[in-house]
Amino acid sequence: MIVRVNTERVKTAAVTVSLAAWLVATAVAQVPEQRFDKLLKKGRLGIPTPNWRFFGPNPGVKDNHLLYRDIVDGKPGEWQDVPITRDRPWYALAWNARNRSPKALFDAVSEVRIRSAAYGAAMDPVVRSPGYGLLSSFVRDHLPHAEGATHSQFLLMFSYLLAPEERQIEPTFVSREFPLEDTGVAKTEFAPAAA
């Protein structure tokens, strides 16, 4: 009896099994404990797998807050929270061009925090940073200001949950008072998008 082997089916099966094995190995490589990393890379097969943990090795557990207040007649007003993000539209999974402004603010906040931690009480290196300039320009030009305000100031804070009903608030940086070019309502309206 002669058995004919359909080579196309064998090739298709081999490719399918190989890709399925690689998909499973890639999923196993993403396990947070990293106990399978040595097995996959130094095992008999040495399967090369991508590691997407690079993009988010430590998930964020703290919320960033940007607050500002106006100075009227030399007296500071109440701090106001700036809504940087809002809910994402359904199509943001594939296309989220409105994420650029919030991402720029997030990066500026991160830069100011890092510099303030690095330089301690020295404000000049922080004030000269691009992040500080972006945040002060954003507060000055894109947010509404109190009637008669001559100066403004911003505050960076973290908040995180300690328990389901208890939130810890941690101030991290307070800017210098900076002059407002225009008093009254800002020139343009800022439309925050999802981060």
Query: Looking at residue 40, what is its pLDDT?
Result: 65
Amino acid identity, position 11: K
> Per-residue pLDDT averaged across 156-172, rounded?
84
pLDDT in tens, 121-152: 888 999 999 999 999 999 999 899 999 999 99
pLDDT at 101 exceeding the cut of 80 = no
**Residue 191: which pLDDT band, with cuts at 50, 70 and 90?**
very low
Q: What's the pLDDT score for residue 182?
A: 47
Distances (CA, A) of 83 to 27, 65, 102, 105: 36, 8, 10, 11
Coil, helix or strand at residue 93: helix
Q: Is the pTM of this model over 0.85?
A: no
Mean pLDDT (the chain, rounded): 80
Q: Which of 26, 17, 21 is nearest to 50 (CA)?
A: 26
